[in-house]
Amino acid sequence: MRPREYATLGAADLAASVRSGQASAREIAEAALARVDTLGPRYNAFTAVTRERALRDAAAVDAARARGEALPPLAGVPFAVKNLFDVAGLTTLAGAAIERDRPPATADATVVARLAKAGAVLVGALNMEEYAYGFVTENAHYGAVRNPHDESRVAGGSSGGSSAALAAGIVPLTLGSDTNGSIRVPAALCGVCGLKPTYGRLSRQGAALFASSLDHVGPMTRSVTDLVLAYDAMQGADAADIACAQRDVEPARPALGLGIDGLRIGVADGYFHDHAGDQSRAALDIAAKALGAERRVTLPDVERARAAGFIITASEGAELHLADLRTRAAEFDFATRDRFLAGAMIPASWYIDAQRFRAWFRARMHAVFAGVDVIVAAATPVPATPIGATAFDLHGKAMPPRTHLGLLTHAFAFAGLPVATVPIDGPGLPLGVQLVAAPWREDVALRAARALEIAGVSHARVAAGALERGTPPPS
């Protein structure tokens, strides 16, 4: 399979080609590795390549097919993971220089192992913000991840490598993490799809935590169908993660065929309108019209929720890294270090008050779903900002990108709600919308996301430049 042909196919398509014998898993793995070699450095998306493992796992898939065995749903599908997930044999960097000193992981993180069990083939680990603290992935140690749609701009963060690898057609599936928006922001800015599940839905065992009471993990892909395949493969309780709960729910896959008939869809207004730029508002209007959303939803105390989320994030992150802050502060990315140091000085009473407010806010957010099934909101206030930019303009106010590209994502993570993010077609750089559902109703958010694809207003595409540059010259 040629790298260019491979780049345009999604996870479901590649798995089907392996099952049918149109392509071998090894051919697909080699095509993926060729694009890692060609484009990984260009966009600075990868920090490690698991070449030997990829070829070994692909050979195992081909051997199973040769024996006539039924293949799992992601058989032969290449994937890569944010480098905060444990991968056996690799040191888990979490975007930090300090972590280089740690020994390699001895086992895969639970979600990585579950994808591998489903037949997916791991090809590498991906660049990210240090300790997942920021929305731009301009990493002082490993360099900035470049957006494949415009290499002068950020890919978003903190899962910047995860979104760039998809937009460049290097892999059709990646894993990211989301504490305050770190799946949804880069997905929107790179024009791909992402799912932040309900807090506690997917195991975080083997993932380097940032703020334990807020951390989520989830898949990123170039289609909603592929999101569903990956999400279903990773589900299930895990005793190694006390937050990972078992729920009696149907897999998301059957829900995709149900459309949105009967779903009550509302558009977030108030804070979410005020903090979206003109381009983001236009993208939201397209999505709302396609979904037939006529209701308006005003969410309670969103600015207080964002402030409380900052207190919890900084406090929990600082506590986790306190020993290194005391003895190795100079080795942190300065932008991360200063915020962790500030977090270490937050009074305990502030943290307790923030968590108390969070319980109230979560209950109020849950009550909103008595009147709607899905809330639609813009994913970012503006498109991707230039690498190195210190501010973007939002209705006449200067906003720092590292912290404020997530203006519209914090509240939904604070409440632990499931959110699917998809791109919306339009001129210029990519933009996306969030589709938010009640707790444990990922299937509803994904139905709405799929409806936007069916309506023809949402397409996650490989960046044109990445297709051309990823094609090796004739031999």
pLDDT in tens, 383-425: 999 999 999 999 999 999 999 999 999 999 999 999 999 999 9
pLDDT at 59: 98
Catalytic residue (one of 17, 24, 158, 223): 158
The question of whether 182 is a catalytic residue gets the answer yes
Token pair, residue 265, equals 């869809």
pLDDT > 70 in the chain, percent: 96
pLDDT at 475: 37
Token pair, residue 169, equals 């057609």
Token pair, residue 295, equals 């209701």
Token pair, residue 439, equals 């707790």
Q: How far is Cα 450 from Cα 370, in angstroms, rounded to an integer?
A: 23
Please state whether beta strands 146-147 and 150-154 pair in parallel, antiparallel, or not at all (unpaired): antiparallel
Catalytic residue (one of 82, 177, 203, 458): 82
The question of whether 152 is a catalytic residue gets the answer no
> What sign has the CA pseudo-torsion 30, 35, 40, 45?
negative
Q: Are 25 and 62 in contact (CB under 8 A)?
A: yes
For residue range 56-108, list pLDDT tens digits in order.
999 999 999 999 999 999 999 999 999 999 999 999 999 999 999 999 999 99
For residue range 219-265, list pLDDT tens digits in order.
999 999 999 999 999 999 999 998 987 665 556 666 677 788 889 99
Q: How confident is the model at residue 473 (pLDDT cuts 50, 70, 90)?
A: very low
pLDDT at 259: 80
- Chain mean pLDDT for the chain: 95
Amino acid letter, residue 310? F
For residue range 303-318, list pLDDT tens digits in order.
999 999 999 999 999 9
Q: Are 156 and 174 in contact (CB under 8 A)?
A: no
pLDDT at residue 7 tops 50: yes
For residue range 138-151, list pLDDT tens digits in order.
999 999 999 999 99
pLDDT at residue 474 tops 80: no
Q: How far is Cα 471 from Cα 456, in angstroms, rounded to an integer?
A: 28
pLDDT > 90 in the chain, percent: 92
pLDDT at 246: 66
pLDDT at 250: 58
Q: Minimal CA–CA distance to 382: which of 52, 156, 55? A: 156
pLDDT at 3: 76
CA distances for 184 relative to 220, 342, 362, 416, 424, angstroms = 9, 26, 20, 14, 13
Catalytic residue (one of 162, 163, 182, 315): 182
Q: How far is Cα 444 from Cα 436, in angstroms, rounded to an integer?
A: 9
The question of whether 289 is a catalytic residue gets the answer no
Q: Which of 2-11, 121-130, 225-234, 351-360 has the lowest mean pLDDT?
A: 2-11
Q: How far is Cα 376 from Cα 433, in angstroms, rounded to an integer?
A: 7
SS (H, E, C) the chain: CCHHHHHCCCHHHHHHHHHHCCCCHHHHHHHHHHHHHHHHHHHCCEEEECHHHHHHHHHHHHHHHHCCCCCCCCCCCEEEEECCECCCCCCCCCCCCHHHHCCCCCCCCHHHHHHHHCCCEEEEEECCCHHHCCCCCEECCCEECEECCEEEEECCCCCHHHHHHHHCCCCCEEEEEECCCCCHHHHHHHCCEEEECCCCCCCCCCECCCCCCCCEEEEEECCHHHHHHHHHHHCCCCCCCCCCCCCCCCCCHHHHHHCCCCCCEEEECCHHHHCCCHHHHHHHHHHHHHHCCCEEECCCCHHHHHHHHHHHHHHHHHHHCHHHHHHCHHHCCHHHHHHHHHHHCCCHHHHHHHHHHHHHHHHHHHHHCCCCCEEEEECCCCCCCECCCCCEEECCEEECHHHHCCCCCHHHHHCCCCEEEEECCCCCCCCEEEEEECCCCHHHHHHHHHHHHHCCCCCCCCCHHHHHHCCCCCC
Q: How far is Cα 111 from Cα 173, in angstroms, rounded to an integer?
A: 13
Token pair, residue 465, equals 């430049």
pLDDT at residue 39 tops 50: yes
Question: How many Cα neighbours within 13 Å face the side chain of 325?
Answer: 18
pLDDT at 269: 97
